[in-house]
């Protein structure tokens, strides 16, 4: 403790420094605010997110496409990314077949809402969640005994097998898919006008309105509201679970499975739990997707979708909810924004991933604990070198 | 280090000192053709510090692994508090009351010191998703109890200032101490330390001896694997000596010091045909 090596922060920081570079002390300032102020700001932020498709701000809204539809898409990806984050980020299980759960959620709604029954959507949503959770348990129980690479291969197979079953299963619609997937019930209370932008001058357009809450064919905004609401609920619930024994057990298992087991963590049980929760969230997003689409077929659930879901988590920073949300936004929104370059977008995306892997291997926003630890490290360095060293 | 006690929460279960807590009954462990343990029998008595020594490859760590459920004995039984461990899972054995540290430190590197200990304390907890989701009384009670125990242990180990540091950033000695704290957090009756003094300088070894004694004085039973003879002789009540998977001696430190078989095992004898 007494010997101080002459490392300047610039040299020393090559490994630890980049982690906080994009932070700019925002986190500190945020937690410096009194709690009521934070709550109010969060509420305002949420309200802004709800109003976003009505505001239709220039530059943010991609020209030539329906902003409401784009936002729903983004929200769906964010939701999926949050679910996959439980599996990959918290429990450290590489799941390459996440689209399988997405499909099961969507098909549950399709099959029991249109093809073989006419259950209302509000009943189908929990049903989809239950079915996917069960499928997660069925897949997890045998496969979670294998580790790492093997798990990735098994789940990859699962995603494909589920899709192929959907193709070949006539009772489930087969290759033709399912039409007339039920919509959520509408309660038409009032209409909200949109904004029209002419440069930076906004005018209220009373001709173009969105009815609260009408789940129709043309206007996608209510679906976005629904998805956003589900995201908020999931965020709160997930936060409560992660900050408990369950979250600690996941973290310990990811760090060192054998040591965790010997410290009294039933690792298999907790891995299975993560898998089931991930499947649960995946199923809900699949159900939302199905009801928005109104038509689903097996081609809606390609392997590529699994890879994109995975990228959203990896890009954002597995284990960090805010990072994963940003990852979901990037993966779903940027391609829409750069539609004109559509032919190159996968290429650009690939290049971005390579850059990211090199410069931010822990994702755009690494887990909070690395940041917290860095602060402690800095404080220690400061103590050892003396504060007025510069 | 402070002189705090660990009286408030979750000490070891009561029982008459000197009674056998864990018994190895004729335990044999084979890996293919290799006999790692060959009919090893000894007992660990409540409240004692038992040393387990032997040359490299004598089967000391294998012995640990048989006790903590990492390996199933090929034959023989491990009895804990009079009951056979049987095919219990590793986490269940920990919950039952056997905790251990590792020869090469295996902390949860990206978790803080406090969180590492909390994971250990969670061994006796049962909060699941529903309890956590609705913040039911059990969750609150267990969190409170776990944090209290963790802070006690941090203080006991002299790690209070390190509570919020990542385990992998701790100095080596603190990592060793944190591992012991994490093991104690599981509320064990028997604490197994696998070469806790490895890499320590003489001063640190003296402190460690003191720490082990203080842990025993809190009512825990300690099993100690150690290479450093001075440390083993200085701190243990009894010693079991293994060589090539067999027990060759058992007794008090003074008896072991003068035992010809032990001296032969450590210094080698001429007619040993193993080259």
What is the DSSP track for B102-160? -SS----TTSBHHHHHHHHHGGG----HHHHHTT-HHHHHHHHHHHHHHHHHHHHHT-G
CB contact under 8 A, B111 and A259: no
**Residue-level pLDDT at A45:** 92
Question: What does the block give as tokens for B178?
Answer: 């944190």
Tell me the C-alpha distance between A183 and A28, whole Å. Answer: 44
Contact B238, B50 (CB under 8 A): yes
Smallest Cβ distance to A256: which of B106, B165, B169? B106
pTM of the model: 0.86
Residue B183 contacts A, CB cutoff 8 Å: yes
**Residue-level pLDDT at B5:** 58
pLDDT bracket for residue A20 (50, 70, 90): very low
What is the percent of chain A where pLDDT is above 90? Answer: 41
CB contact under 8 A, B118 and A256: no
Helix A221-242 × helix A35-55 angle, to 10°? 150
Mean pLDDT of A204-233: 86
DSSP output for A185-254: PP---EEEEEEEEETTEEEEEEEEEEEET---SS--HHHHHHHHHHHHHHHHHHHHHHSSHHHHHHHHHH
**Residue-level pLDDT at A57:** 79
CB contact under 8 A, A252 and B142: no
**Residue-level pLDDT at A2:** 38
Mean pLDDT of A194-202: 77
**Residue-level pLDDT at A352:** 79
pLDDT bracket for residue A356 (50, 70, 90): confident
**What's the Cα-to-Cα distance from B9 to each of B6, B119, B149, B150, rounded to whole Å?**
7, 16, 6, 10
The distance of A379 to chain B (nearest Cα, Å) reads 11
Cβ within 8 Å of residue A44, ≥6 positions away: none
pLDDT of residue A15 exceeding 50, the answer is: no
Residues in chain A within 8 Å Cβ distance of B135 = 240
pLDDT bracket for residue A380 (50, 70, 90): low
Mean pLDDT of B55-76: 90
**Residue-level pLDDT at A355:** 86
- Residues B87-142: tens digit of each pLDDT: 899 999 999 999 999 989 999 998 999 999 999 999 999 988 999 999 999 999 99
pLDDT of residue A348 exceeding 80, the answer is: no
Q: Which of B72, B126, B64 is nearest to B99 (CA)?
A: B64
**Residue-level pLDDT at A82:** 95
The distance of B154 to chain A (nearest Cα, Å) reads 17
pLDDT of residue A32 exceeding 50, the answer is: yes
> A220-229, A309-318, A330-339, B224-233 — which one is most confidently predicted on average?
A220-229
Residue A252 contacts B, CB cutoff 8 Å: yes
Residue B175 contacts A, CB cutoff 8 Å: no
Question: What does the block give as tokens for A244?
Answer: 């408990």
pLDDT of residue B229 exceeding 90, the answer is: no
**Residue-level pLDDT at B224:** 95
What is the percent of chain B where pLDDT is above 70? Answer: 92
Average pLDDT of every residue of chain B: 89
**What's the Cα-to-Cα distance from A270 to each of A68, A135, A243, A260, B108, rounded to whole Å?**
38, 16, 14, 11, 16
pLDDT of residue A11 exceeding 90, the answer is: no
Residue A258 contacts B, CB cutoff 8 Å: yes
Residue A259 contacts B, CB cutoff 8 Å: yes
**Residue-level pLDDT at B1:** 42
Mean pLDDT of A257-263: 94
Reported ipTM: 0.89
What is the percent of chain A where pLDDT is above 70? Answer: 87
**Residue-level pLDDT at A378:** 66
CB contact under 8 A, A244 and B131: yes
DSSP annotation of A174 reads G
Q: Which of B91, B101, B120 is nearest to B175 (CA)?
A: B101
Q: Return the number of CB contacts < 8 Å for A and B.
A: 110
List b or e across B111-144, with b for residues whose CB sees 16 or more CB atoms inside 10 angstroms. bbbbbbbbbbbbbbbebbbebbbeeeebbeebbe
**Residue-level pLDDT at A371:** 58
Mean pLDDT of B190-203: 92
The CA dihedral of B122, B123, B124, B130, to the nearest 10 degrees, is: 50
pLDDT of residue B33 exceeding 70, the answer is: yes
**Residue-level pLDDT at A175:** 86
**Residue-level pLDDT at A196:** 78
Residue B125 contacts A, CB cutoff 8 Å: yes
For residues A258 and A365, the model is more confident at: A258
CB contact under 8 A, A245 and B91: no
Mean pLDDT of A38-46: 91
Chain A contacts in chain B segment 68-87 (CB below 8 A): 68, 70
Tell me the C-alpha distance between A166 and A176, whole Å. Answer: 10
pLDDT of residue A198 exceeding 60, the answer is: yes
Smallest Cβ distance to B132: which of A244, A259, A377? A244
Cβ within 8 Å of residue A229, ≥6 positions away: none
Average pLDDT of every residue of chain A: 83
Mean pLDDT of A305-328: 88
Tell me the C-alpha distance between B78 and B245, whole Å. Answer: 16
**Residue-level pLDDT at B157:** 94
CB contact under 8 A, B68 and A266: no
Q: SS3 of B26, please? A: strand
Residue A145 contacts B, CB cutoff 8 Å: no
Question: Residue A102 CB: number of other CB atoms within 10 A?
Answer: 32
Min mean pLDDT across A18-22, B86-90, B109-113, B220-224 is at: A18-22
Residue A255 contacts B, CB cutoff 8 Å: yes
Q: Which of A96, A95, A97, A106 is nearest to A300 (CA)?
A: A106
**Residue-level pLDDT at A372:** 58
Question: Distance from CA of residue A73 to its chain's centroid?
Answer: 11
Residues in chain A within 8 Å Cβ distance of B115 = 248, 251
pLDDT of residue B238 exceeding 50, the answer is: yes
Closest chain A CA to residue B65: A262
Bridge-partner residues for A205, per DSSP? A194
- Residues A68-110: tens digit of each pLDDT: 888 999 999 999 999 999 999 999 899 999 999 999 999 999 9
- Overall size of chain B counted in residues: 275
Phi, psi of B262 (to 5 degrees): -70, -45
Phi, psi of A107 (to 5 degrees): -70, -30
Phi, psi of B86 (to 5 degrees): 60, -140
- Selected for mutation to probe chain A from B61, B71, B91 (highest A CB count within 10 Å) is B91
The distance of B181 to chain A (nearest Cα, Å) reads 11
pLDDT bracket for residue B275 (50, 70, 90): very low
Spell out where chain B has E strands.
Answer: 20-31, 34-45, 49-53, 75-80, 83-84, 98-100, 190-194, 221-225, 238-243, 246-251
Residue A281 contacts B, CB cutoff 8 Å: no
DSSP annotation of A115 reads I
Q: Which of A27, A40, A39, A54 is nearest to A224 (CA)?
A: A54
Smallest Cβ distance to B120: which of A241, A263, A273? A263
Closest chain A CA to residue B191: A263
Bridge-partner residues for A281, per DSSP? none
Residues in chain B within 8 Å Cβ distance of A373 = 112, 165-166, 169
CB contact under 8 A, A241 and B108: no
Question: What does the block give as tokens for A161?
Answer: 């097998």
CB contact under 8 A, B120 and A244: no
pLDDT of residue A364 exceeding 90, the answer is: no
Smallest Cβ distance to B106: which of A246, A259, A369? A259
Residue B143 contacts A, CB cutoff 8 Å: yes
CB contact under 8 A, A255 and B109: yes
**Residue-level pLDDT at A389:** 41
CB contact under 8 A, B94 and A266: no
Question: What does the block give as tokens for A294?
Answer: 């109104």
pLDDT of residue B2 exceeding 80, the answer is: no
Mean pLDDT of B36-50: 94
List b or e across A283-316, with b for residues whose CB sees 16 or more CB atoms inside 10 angstroms. bbbbbbbbbbbeebbbebbeeebbbbbbbbbbbb
For residues A270 and B9, the model is more confident at: A270
Q: Starting from the edge strand earliest in sequence, which strands make up the sheet with B75-80, in order?
A: B34-45, B20-31, B75-80, B83-84
Smallest Cβ distance to A251: which of B108, B146, B186? B108
Chain A contacts in chain B segment 84-103 (CB below 8 A): 89-91, 94-95, 99-100, 102
């Amino acid at each position: 403790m007494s010997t101080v090596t002459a490392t300047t922060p610039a040299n020393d920081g090559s490994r630890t420094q980049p982690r906080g570079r994009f932070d700019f002390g925002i986190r500190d300032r945020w937690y410096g605010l009194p709690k009521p102020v934070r709550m109010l700001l969060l509420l305002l932020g949420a309200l802004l997110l709800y109003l976003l498709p009505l505001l239709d701000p220039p530059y943010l809204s991609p020209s030539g496409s329906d902003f409401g539809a784009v936002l729903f898409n983004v929200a769906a990806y964010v939701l999926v990314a949050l679910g996959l984050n439980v599996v990959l980020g918290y429990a450290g299980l590489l799941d390459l077949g996440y689209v399988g759960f997405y499909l099961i959620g969507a098909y549950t709604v399709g099959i029991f809402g249109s093809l073989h029954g006419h259950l209302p959507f509000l009943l189908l949503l929990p049903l989809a969640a239950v079915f996917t959770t069960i499928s997660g348990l069925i897949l997890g129980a045998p496969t979670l005994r294998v580790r790492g690479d093997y798990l990735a291969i098994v789940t990859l197979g699962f995603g494909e097998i589920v899709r192929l079953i959907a193709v070949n299963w006539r009772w489930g619609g087969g290759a033709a898919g399912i039409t007339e997937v039920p919509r959520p019930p509408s309660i038409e209370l009032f209409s909200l006008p949109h904004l029209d932008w002419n440069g930076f001058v906004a005018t209220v357009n009373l001709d173009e309105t969105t009815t609260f809450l009408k789940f129709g064919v043309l206007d996608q905004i209510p679906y976005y509201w629904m998805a956003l609401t589900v995201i908020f609920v999931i965020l709160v619930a997930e936060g409560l679970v992660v900050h408990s024994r369950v979250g600690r057990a996941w973290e310990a298992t990811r760090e060192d499975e054998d040591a965790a087991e010997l410290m009294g963590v039933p690792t298999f049980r907790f891995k299975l739990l993560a898998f089931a929760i991930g499947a649960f969230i995946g199923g809900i997003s699949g159900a939302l997707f199905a009801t928005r689409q109104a038509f689903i077929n097996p081609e809606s659930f390609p392997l590529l979708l699994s890879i994109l879901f995975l990228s959203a988590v990896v890009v954002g920073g597995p284990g960090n909810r805010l990072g994963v949300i940003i990852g979901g936004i990037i993966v779903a929104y940027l391609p829409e924004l750069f539609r004109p370059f559509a032919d190159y977008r996968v290429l650009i995306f690939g290049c971005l991933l390579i850059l990211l892997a090199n410069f931010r291997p822990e994702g755009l926003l690494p887990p909070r604990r690395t940041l917290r630890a860095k602060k402690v490290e800095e404080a220690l360095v400061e103590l050892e070198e003396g504060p007025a060293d510069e | 280090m402070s002189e705090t006690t660990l009286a408030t929460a979750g000490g070891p279960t009561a029982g008459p000192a000197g009674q056998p807590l864990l018994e190895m009954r004729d335990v044999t462990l084979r890996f293919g053709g290799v006999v790692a343990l060959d009919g090893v029998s000894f007992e660990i008595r409540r409240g004692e510090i038992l040393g387990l020594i032997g040359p490299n490859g004598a089967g000391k760590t294998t012995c640990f692994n048989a006790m903590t459920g990492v390996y199933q004995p090929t034959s023989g039984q491990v009895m804990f508090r009079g009951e056979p461990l049987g095919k219990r899972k590793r986490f269940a054995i920990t919950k039952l009351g056997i905790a251990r540290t590792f020869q090469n430190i295996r902390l949860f590197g990206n978790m803080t010191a406090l969180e590492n200990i909390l994971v250990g304390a969670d061994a006796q907890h049962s909060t699941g998703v529903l309890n956590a989701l609705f913040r039911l009384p059990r969750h609150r009670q267990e969190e409170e109890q776990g944090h209290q125990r963790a802070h006690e242990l941090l203080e006991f180990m002299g790690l209070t200032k390190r509570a919020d540091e990542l385990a992998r950033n701790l100095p080596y000695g603190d990592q060793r101490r944190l591992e012991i704290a994490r093991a104690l957090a599981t509320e064990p009756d028997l604490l197994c330390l696998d070469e806790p003094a490895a890499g320590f300088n003489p001063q640190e070894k003296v402190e460690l001896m003191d720490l082990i004694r203080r842990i025993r004085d809190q009512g825990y039973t300690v099993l100690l694997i150690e290479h450093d003879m001075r440390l083993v002789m200085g701190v243990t009540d009894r010693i079991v000596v293994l060589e090539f998977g067999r027990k060759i001696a058992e007794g008090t430190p003074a008896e072991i010091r003068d035992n010809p078989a032990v001296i032969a095992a450590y210094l080698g004898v001429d007619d040993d045909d193993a080259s």
